[in-house]
Structure 1
Amino acid sequence: MTDASDAGERSTSPSLDESDPELHYEEDEEESENQAREDSDTSSILSDDSVYPVYEHAASDKNDAAELTFYQCCISNNAMLLKQKLYSGVTRQEVMELDINGRNGLLVACFKGFVDIVTSLSKCRYVDINHQDNDGNTALMIAAQAGHITIVNYLLNYYPGLELEMRDFRGLTALMKAAVQGRNECVAALLLAGADLAAVDPVKGKTAREWAALTGRFETIVRIRTLLERPCAEQFSKKYLPEWPALPMLVAETLGSSRTKRLTNKIRSTFTINFPHDPEPDGVMDHMVRMTTCLASPFVGTACQTVCPDSPPEVGKQRLSVPEILKEYKPDPDAKSMASASSCNGQLMTPSRVLIPYQPSSTLVKIMSIPLRLRRNTIYPAGIPKIELTKSPGQSPPKEKKIKPDKNKLELPKWRYKELKEEKKKALEEAGKPKKSKGKSKRKK
């Protein structure tokens, strides 16, 4: 029905009786209207754009992709245009372009998981692999924390001069960040690359394993324990033999057993229910995995070429990158001087903070603190005093604030049946009569 028809109905019925069936509406209409007003006022406050601001450059409406800068090619995952720019030549200022968070194109690509961008940037000599953003995060920290294992392995193997033990402004390393987030593959890659498992943060004095236990990453703890049980990957060296050591002993036991024992073992294996479980250490599945991934396997021997077969990966052993092993890496002498001059929209970067490394308290300090402990016990001999909680007296409900009508906005029309309904409620409250239920009103309809 239109507004004109509503106006016509109101003009034809100037006087409405209280027994009119149109008066019996549900009482939740007014509450729903008030709730709608409140939701409309608070919806914009809790929206995503107000909680998570976007600091990236807005996409241009032009279709000409050649106008994109070096940084915009990285954040838009445009690998073809980035390769063209690298082939034609780029300046150091273009590569060192930063956003409002102090991140260059490599850090954003590591955060979003752009593998093609990371592989292309390894050929640019102006890229600083150890650059830190405003929070102290490096490219390795961001990739390890996000769980991009392909990018982490590429950074470890093809970016020379990568420092594993760099810390952010809270004193956390890349290994600690990966352990906190439960990135098991990244933790294993960092440990085999030589990350220090015994390093502690200066704030709480916890190692990567203790951070994993604190955050409930038990699978990460198991993975670290497994790596420590077998710290060296000997299958990646020429000295590894693909024969299973337990095979001759098992064959001898099988041939030396009697027919009765063989029959008993066959019947037992037939009626035994095998539940799925992890492969046993030094078992058949473990040996198959190590044999197929070793240097003597046909696939690895024909499809891959190992750079250093005499030095297999080991937990805690520092490894060089491929350009450093092939002696193709030449350090840039101007990298340190330009790092301080990198800016974002003409604003200089914030200086890095220096955290004091964590040091456990010595025995002398513990002995000197004994009188303070005894003094605390004399002040509170029975321990910490108990605090009794009592309920506050009942308070009157707060008064509802009346919303002032806005002259520039249209107000909702006041219907006649609602006014009669309110008058009827007031009359019943004054007379002290009980209020009629909704079920009875619906039956009268």
Structure 2
Amino acid sequence: MASSKYDPHLGAGPSEDSEILLDDSDSGSVLSDDSVLPDYEMDEKYTEPAKTLYEACARNEPTSLLRVLERGVTKDEAMDLDNNGKNGLMQAVAKGFMDIVTMLHTCPLIDINHQDNDGNTALMIAAQAGFSTIVNYILNFYSGVDTEVRDPRGFTALIKAGLQGQEECVSALLMHGADMNAIDLVQGRSLNDWALRTGSFETVKRLRRLNAHSVAVQFCESYIPEWPALKQLVAKATVTKTAGEKLRQRLKDSLSFSFHQDPQDNGVMDHMVRMTSGIHSPLVVTGCHPLCPSSPPEIGKRRFAVSELLEKHSIKELEESTVSHSKGSVTTSASHSGASATSVSLTCCQEHGIGGFIPRSMGHRNSIFPSGCIPKIEVTKSQESTPKKEKKKKAQKGYLEPPIWKYKEIKEEKKREKKEQQQQEKEKEKEKEKEKEKEKEKEKEKEKQRKTKGSKRSSSKN
């Protein structure tokens, strides 16, 4: 069994006695020794499909994995490890095989909190690699995920994501209930301290914004998709101004300089994000089936996976009652408000079970056998008649007209010349036809004269 001390890709990890690497100087190493994952991918070409669960995960063969799961998997086969102590799920997570990750959540024999020889879990690998989609999927669909598992240095998945500057993974872990104040065992630093020391200023900004808005209000039933500042801005814009105020505003606009600014808090951009990601948004309502809409994500509040909620509560209870997350348990309280969970989640899926709650973007599907259901879209013809095109009005004096470009003038002149040439050719053809007709008439007259002369000669001879 190889460890991190003998792995040439990872190098030797920091020890408690090595103060040179762990001091506060700029030359000290501040990243974990497993921050850069080694490349385990082989250049072999496989002629036969994978026969074991680990092989299917390492090769990224979803069809082979499906066959293995259908025939049945033992505990030893599910936890088959490589030389570094990684199982099949950890290999798929390290390489970003999303299809494999979405299929393995149905196997209850896989230990999601298993640690390899370096102390990493599947969640740690995905968090420090920046695979935010895999992190969210593991947190939402794998039961029993422990976000506070530590490696030998005391780093959690949240600290590892902060070390690498993966702010999306940091946000996902914090909103799932990861401890923001967790401290490593070597230097005694928290997430904020490591982010500042490694120069991850985007992560620091994200932490400040999350602390200022610790609850995802748009994922709550009480959220109304209206911008509260709109009325004030409209009223301010429609107020009549005096001549002095107008003059002052013009001077201010002419003398002020416009610089690039970040979006303001609770401004238009924030409102657009909330509108598109809120529970009342048609994009979210038709794309997934929300669970526990009355208990929005919050920093420091433990979230439960879909499978855990389905084990503790029935489908009817989840739809008709309000199931709220608390820090250590799930509480249920009946609610018959106007905006219930069934009225908010306008999903088209009639299937029950865990498959009905998986977003379509994460579901394993193809074009022939799509997973879930496809929403039916009814197209009705409008009763109103289609408006007719308005005729172009003639140019009037005193009104501006769009400019005519030179190339358009040249094109129009060429078209006119072509038309004139065609008309001239037609006139010439008509003249030629008239001349031909005149010649024919002359020939007919000559023939008549000849006939009359011949008849006169015959009569005189007689």
**The one of 49, 63, 66 aligned to 1:65:** 49
The amino acid of 1:118's aligned partner reads: V
User: How high is the TM-score relative to the length of structure 1?
Assistant: 0.59
- Does residue 323 (structure 1) correspond to residue 311 (structure 2)? The answer is no
- For structure 1, list consecutive stretches of 5 or more residues without a partner in the other structure: 1-49, 330-445
For 1:294-305, what aligned pairs fall within 5 Å after superposition? 294-305=278-289
Match of 2:277, as an amino acid? T
Which residue of structure 2 aligns with residue 414 of structure 1? none
Alignment CA distance shift 1:293-1:203 (3 Å)? same
| 1:285, distance to aligned residue in structure 2 (A) | 1.2
Counterpart Cα distance in 2 of 1:266 and 1:95: 72
| 1:95 aligns to 2:54 (yes or no) | no
2:49 and 2:266 mapped to 1: Cα distance?
55
Query: Is 1:154 matched with 2:115?
Result: no
Residue 59 of structure 1 deviates from its aligned partner by 6.8
Aligned partners of 1:315, 1:183: CA distance in 2, in Å? 17
One-letter amino acid of the structure 1 residue matched with residue 171 of structure 2: A
RMSD: 2.4
- After superposition, the Cα gap between the structure-2 partners of 1:275 and 1:97, relative to the gap in structure 1 and judged at 3 Å, is same
Q: Trace 1:201-216 onto structure 2 (pairs within 5 A).
A: 201-216=184-199
Superposed CA offset, 1:88-133 (max 9, x none) = 2122111111000000011111111111111111111111000000
Asked whether the 8 Å contact 1:238–1:309 carries over to 2, the reply is yes
For residues 273 and 166 of structure 2, what CA distance do their matches in structure 1 show? 22
* 1:291 match: 275
In the alignment, structure 1 residue 142 sits paired with structure 2 residue 125: yes
Give the 3 Å change call, closer, same or farther, for CA 101–272 of structure 1 in structure 2: same
- Whether the 8 Å CA contact 1:193–1:314 is kept in 2: the answer is yes
In the alignment, which residue of structure 2 is the partner of 1:171? 154
The structure-2 alpha-carbon separation of the partners of 1:84 and 1:276, relative to structure 1 and needing over 3 Å to count, comes to farther
Whole-angstrom distance in 1 between the partners of 2:296 and 2:172: 13
For residue 188 of structure 1, what is the aligned residue in structure 2? Answer: 171
Equivalenced residues, count? 279
Name the aligned partner's letter for residue 261 of structure 2.
H
CA distance in 1, matches of 2:242, 2:282: 39
1:51 Cα offset (Å): 5.0
SS of the residue aligned with 1:168? coil
Identify if the C-alpha distance between structure 1 residues 327 and 253 changes in structure 2 by more than 3 Å, giving closer, same or farther. Answer: same
Could you give the per-residue CA deviations for residues 243-285 of structure 1, whole angstroms, max 9, x where no partner exists? 1111222222222241534576478558865443321101111
Q: CA deviation at 1:61?
A: 6.3
Q: Give the 3 Å change call, closer, same or farther, for CA 249–231 of structure 1 in structure 2.
A: same
Separation (CA, whole Å) in 1 of partners of 2:79 and 2:177? 29
CA distance in 2, matches of 1:270, 1:327: 65
Percent of pairs identical after alignment? 49
Q: Give the corresponding residue for 1:367.
A: none
Paired residues for 1:226-375 under 5 Å: 226-258=209-241, 260=243, 261=245, 265=249, 274-327=258-311
Q: After superposing the two structures, state which structure 1 stretch, 259-268 or 210-219, moved more.
A: 259-268
Q: Cα distance, 1:62 vs. partner?
A: 5.9
Instruction: Tell me, yes or no, if the aligned pair for 2:52 and 2:68 is still in contact at 8 Å.
Output: no
> For 1:198-246, what per-residue CA distance to the aligned partner results, in whole angstroms no more than 9, with x for missing partners?
1111221111111111111111111101100110011101101111111
Q: 1:147 to 1:247 in 2, by over 3 A?
A: same
Give the counterpart of 1:116 among 99, 102, 114: 99
State the distance in 2 between where 1:296 and 1:186 align.
25
Residue 329 of structure 2 corresponds to which residue in structure 1? none
Tell me, what secondary structure is at the counterpart of 1:82? helix
Q: Distance in 1 between matches of 2:80 and 2:120?
A: 16
Q: 1:223 aligns with which of 202, 206, 214?
A: 206
Is the CA contact 1:55–1:99 (under 8 Å) kept in the aligned structure 2? no
2:164 maps to a residue whose letter is Q
The residue type equivalent to 2:52 in the other structure is T
